[in-house]
Structures are given as structure tokens and as C-alpha cells.
Structure 1
């Protein structure tokens, strides 16, 4: 028990030191072995896990990172293991189509989890890692779709840590018994902030209840069925997945709004932020050339492709760019010409 607490303290200290530079450890901690599991992830979530793995490695810990991305880290204390999938199910998805409805979003997530999960548990490297799971002091699993990694927790004796990637989110809070009123936490599927009106709170209640029910009665049973093909005697997912020792929340109260959190639920937003570096010469010239009007960075994130933008959405974006006509726009992927071809910038 005390060893688990020491492991949790070591991981939390690394997270806080990375997201809040003023946090400094006066007492060195012993090195631990940490397994980070992110089989189903967008590129931005993969980078989040890379940053966490690198920070743990820098602190002297030994880290194994599992993902569906090609190995890209060059850190002496971080080893990457592939799931056997090439992540094309995520990379090739048209997110505008996926986001048309909640049911379509859930269907996409479950199909992606099943596709990656089957390849993952058919991989000899993953099977070997599973047999060695109790050689790790801590296992970290990112949320949403990664229930396919839960068999690593079966019979595991170390510390289980999960990462709530979208910030404060109701389902993840309840995993550790933090049942807040549904009128307080905005649903992920609603455009609400923590400053909800009475009407928005009334809409948020059934929306969050529906999300909770879909996860409990559709997502979990479907993933359970998949995993039982490989682990026939595995106990219920909820018995394993809802038994975390620590939840790292990828958010901050300045953005999500303050909510009551348990001591084992810690906000670590900006953990993947990097130290500022000089801009490449061409970008520096672009930014300085904008003068006093400035530059606006138009980003679609790491999972949305500009070529997938529907025709009916382009006028909406164009109205925004016209409103800031005096400023220069820079596409997040730096392909300004591609953006011009889409008639998004002038």
C-alpha cells in the first residue's frame, strides 16, 4: 500500500512540475517502471502521452508507451511498443461526418476501438507485455475508447492511473465516486460552459444522462464482448476500470470552471506545453510582416483535415475571416496555399 502511494506521489510530482514549473521537488524519488497505454488516440493525445512519458523519463523513471503510432521518441528511458495497427481508422476519418450526430460519434468510436483492439490483442509484443504487467509500478490509461487496454489491470497489483483527456468530464469523475450534480458539469455534446443558464441546465441534464447511459449500457458491454474473445474469464470491465488510484485531468479550472474535486483528481492542464522556441525564418517573416494588424492562427486540431470541410460550412468560416479582414490568417498546418484553394482565406 505504501509503495503504491509513493508511486502516485512520484507521477503526480512529475505532472505538476511539468504543468506548473514553480513546483520543485526537494527530495529525490526512487526510479519506477511506468506503463502508458494509449492504443486508441488522435495525434494530439499521442503527443500528450509522449510529453508525459518524456517528463517521467527525465525524472529518472523507466517508461513503456503503447500506441498505434510509429515509434518517434528518442529518449533513453522511454520505449515505444506498437499495437500492430497503423491508426488509419482514426487518421482517415472524416470528423465532420462523424460529428453529424451523437450516435454516429459513438458508432465511430466503438468501431475504431474494436478494430484496434483486435489487432492489439493479436500482437505477440502486446501479449508479452501483458504477461509482464506486474513488473510495472504504475499503469496509466487515457480515457475514451481505451477500455480495450483494461485487461492490463486484471490481476495487476500496482497503481492504476487514468487520464481524463477533455478536461473535467462527468463520467470520469464518477469513476472515483465524485457524483456531482448534472446541472454543474457541461455535457461534452453540448456547446455549454460552466456558466449555464437555467434553460441550458435543463437541457444539459437529459443530455448527460443519455451520455452516461450509452456508455454504461452500450459502449462497456460491447468492449466487454470483444475482450472476452481473448480473455474468456476476465471480470466485468467496470470492476477493473473504475478502480483507479489517481485521475489526471487534462484541463484547468481557469478554462473549465472550478468544480469540487477529490484529492485523487488533479488538473494537470498544459502538461504537454513546450518551452518557447524561435520561429522558423519564413514564419517569422510572415508574422512580423503583418504589422500592427497581427496574425490569427486558424487551427482545426490534429484530427480534422481542411479538405474534409463540407461546402455548407465554408461560408461560415469565410464570414469569420471577413470580420477580421485586416489581420493575416495562418493555417495551423502552415499550408497557406491549400487553404486558399479551399477559398477559406483571401
Structure 2
């Protein structure tokens, strides 16, 4: 009887194991943007999926550290090589119209490079099968041919939350009367002129896309996936859109049922800071100001004039400062300013002595600061950061200062307001 029972137990275990194996999905994900902050979101989402036992193949410019056993990287090595924007801080002066044109041009070139990259070609020419495709929404309509190539549904991940980039894919209504365009400087509480300009810009952006961008994307689709259906048939067939936003950090917007807010999912429990940095912050009886322009824009690219203005202002405050500075220090600085080439941002934002975060206004940084209850001074540089900065000020969890408007008086006034106004 015992032998029979043991056999039955082993058979049941084997059956359940096989059932678990066959219910695991094979997922192909493409996060091609050459931005580490975009990659962080994709990797965070898909790592959790892989740790549940699903098989994830990730196509991106970056490899994952300590990947799960069911994870495979397809690295797009050097695919963005040759793009040279010079000093990226100069983008702060670019108009919304120029941004729209530039991002569309760069987006088409990037996706063409992805489509012709040997690693990508190896995947689409393989005999592999996938149950699901996940793609980041970033000027990449042609990549939706993967859905046809592998006969699999696809999910879109929007790193910037709601925008015309996602609304039109699923027929989501969006009113230009109170939903600002991602490339303009407006919050949701627009004046009559701003509403008119917002509507005009929306028309311009859509006309430019239809007459200049989509023909390029159709060409790439035809070259890469010659048997795929028309681009429109693929584009309007998204099964789900995951939105990097949340009702707690955004004004009310319409949302069709397959648009799901997941903003904040990337926030992790804080880890201990390096011993010397922790001691520096622990001993700051008047608190600490943290300054970082993110992973793309570099503080070291500031002009000496702007840098010195900021340092003079910091020298007047009692608070200590931690500044993410990516190069060796070759200039004099106040005794209350500490420079770090790299900082674990979520860990420093979680420190109880942190009183203010000066940021470029990226959405990840904004979400992390809100989560930890740290007020923001946003200095937007490019893309949707101007809209984020306007919303930060409009919704009351910080203030904004344009990079081109930095003066000792302006900067000092705003820092003082954020440090001393109890709101």
C-alpha cells in the first residue's frame, strides 16, 4: 500500500509540474529606447513576470544584472552609435514644434536601426514561437509587425502615461481643452490662449505624423515584415496599454477599459545608503537637498556660469547638498556641497533628512519623490518634462524653474520657498 501511495504521489507531482510548465507563457519584449530610465521600467516589469516562471526574451540596448533563470537578453549592441546631440542641456531652448519634428525623425531612424540589427533579425528569422509581445510606445509603429510575425497579441507599455501617442491607438477620447500636449509647457488649468495653442499644436503634430512619420514607418514595416498587413491594422489592435501613471499623481482624464494605470510599480523598498553618504545625511541637522538631472542629462554639461550661480545659492543655506555630478571636481565649491558620480536615487529619497529634490522633471523621478513625500523643484530640459514641471506646480507638490531662467535671485527664491513653506 505504501509503495502504491508513493507512486501515486510521484505521478501527481509530475502531472502538476508538467501542467505548471505548459501554462508558462513565452513573452517577447522590445524596449529599444537608448535611455536607461526607460529600460529600468521595462526590466522591473518583466523581471517580475520572469520570476513567476514565464519565459521572457528582452530586446534592448542593455543587459539585465542577475537575471532570473527564465530570462534571455537580446542586446542591441552599438545600435544607437553615431547619434550625437552635443550638449543635451541645449535642448532646453527647443520649441515644441522642433521637439515634435526631432523626436519623430530620431524615432524613425532608431527603429530602422533596430529592424536591421543582426540580433533583431536573428529573432524574427528564427523558428521560435511567442505567446505575447510587449513593446514600449516610443515612435515605433513598424515594430508592431512582430505581432503578425509570431501570431501573438501585443501589449503596449507607455513610460510617460497618457498622451496622444496612446490615446489614438485605442480610441481614447482626449480633450485639448484641459489635457495639455506632452511637448508644451502647460498644466491642465490652461488659459484660453493656451487651450487654443494646445489645440493648434495637436493638429500640427497629427498632420506631421500622418504626412511625414507614418510613411517612413510603413516603409520600415514592409522591409522588415514583408507579409504583414497594413500598418493601420496592426496599430489599432493593441490588447492592452499599461500606463506609467496613477490617479493619485494626475488630474482626472478619460480612460477606456484596456488602459491600465500602473504608475509607481517600479518603486522598491529602500536599501541602506553607502556608509559615508548615510553618515553625511544622518548628521545633517538642518536637512539635505538632493540635486540630479537624471540619467541622460548631465550636470557636468552645465555652463560654468549656471553652475556657479547654483553653488553660490547653496552656500547661503544651512542645509547640506548632495549633487549628482558625473565628472571629477575641478572647481571650488561650498563646504556644504557634496558631489557624487552615481547615487541610488530611491534610497536617498527615502532618507528622513531629505528636504528637497531638485530634478529635471522626469516622470520616474517625480513618482519616486511623491511616494517618499519629498517636495520638488523641477528644471525641465526636454520632451514631456516641461509638461511634468507644469503639473508639479499646478497640482501643488513642487515648483518649476526653466533652465534658461536660472538666476541667483530666481533660484534662491524658489529653494527658500520649498524649504520653508509648510505646504
TM-score (norm: length of structure 2): 0.65
Contact residue 134 and residue 157 of structure 1 kept, 8 A: no
Secondary structure (helix, strand or coil) at the match of 2:170 reads: coil
281 and 84 in structure 1: CA distance in 2 versus 1, 3 angstrom threshold: closer
Q: Aligned pair 1:171/2:189, yes or no?
A: no
Note the C-alpha offset of 1:266: 0.6
Q: Choose between structure 1 and 2 for higher RCO, CA contacts under 8 A separated by at least 6 residues.
A: 1
RMSD over aligned CA atoms reads: 3.1
- Greater shift, 76-85 or 193-202, is seen at 193-202
270 and 101 in structure 1: CA distance in 2 versus 1, 3 angstrom threshold: same
Task: State the match for 1:294 in structure 2.
Answer: 287
Q: Distance in 1 between matches of 2:230 and 2:323?
A: 45
Note the C-alpha offset of 1:178: 0.9
For 1:157-306, list aligned pairs within 5 A. Answer: 157-232=151-226, 234-291=228-285, 293-306=286-299
Structure 2 unaligned blocks of 5 or more:
1-21, 338-423
For 1:1-346, list aligned pairs within 5 A. Answer: 30-88=23-81, 94-99=87-92, 100-131=94-125, 135-232=129-226, 234-291=228-285, 293-310=286-303, 313-314=306-307, 317=310, 321=314, 325-332=317-324, 338=329
Note the C-alpha offset of 1:34: 1.2
Q: Distance in 2 between matches of 1:220 and 1:312?
A: 42
Q: Distance in 1 between matches of 2:330 and 2:54?
A: 43
- Greater shift, 75-84 or 109-118, is seen at 109-118
Q: Distance in 2 between matches of 1:223 and 1:314?
A: 41
Structure 1 unaligned blocks of 5 or more:
1-28
Q: Distance in 2 between matches of 1:51 and 1:71?
A: 10
Q: Distance in 2 between matches of 1:133 and 1:179?
A: 40
Q: Distance in 2 between matches of 1:162 and 1:133?
A: 24
Secondary structure (helix, strand or coil) at the match of 2:253 reads: coil
Contact residue 177 and residue 195 of structure 2 kept, 8 A: yes
The structure having more radius of gyration, on CA atoms, is 2
Contact residue 167 and residue 256 of structure 1 kept, 8 A: no
Note the C-alpha offset of 1:70: 4.1
Note the C-alpha offset of 1:247: 0.5
Note the C-alpha offset of 1:319: 7.9
268 and 325 in structure 1: CA distance in 2 versus 1, 3 angstrom threshold: same
Q: Distance in 2 between matches of 1:183 and 1:71?
A: 42
Contact residue 108 and residue 213 of structure 2 kept, 8 A: no
Deviation string 1:89-142 (CA, Å, 9 cap, x unpaired) is 568753323452335434543454344434433334322322458721111111
Secondary structure (helix, strand or coil) at the match of 1:278 reads: coil
Q: Distance in 2 between matches of 1:164 and 1:341?
A: 42
Secondary structure (helix, strand or coil) at the match of 1:154 reads: helix
Q: Distance in 1 between matches of 2:333 and 2:111?
A: 36
Deviation string 1:201-224 (CA, Å, 9 cap, x unpaired) is 233222223223333332222232
231 and 155 in structure 1: CA distance in 2 versus 1, 3 angstrom threshold: closer
Contact residue 133 and residue 156 of structure 1 kept, 8 A: no
TM-score (norm: length of structure 1): 0.78
Deviation string 1:248-299 (CA, Å, 9 cap, x unpaired) is 01111222212121110011111211121111102101211211x2112112
Contact residue 133 and residue 152 of structure 1 kept, 8 A: no
339 and 229 in structure 1: CA distance in 2 versus 1, 3 angstrom threshold: farther
248 and 138 in structure 1: CA distance in 2 versus 1, 3 angstrom threshold: same
Contact residue 83 and residue 116 of structure 1 kept, 8 A: no
- Greater shift, 194-203 or 259-268, is seen at 194-203
- Greater shift, 166-175 or 307-316, is seen at 307-316
Q: Distance in 1 between matches of 2:164 and 2:105?
A: 23
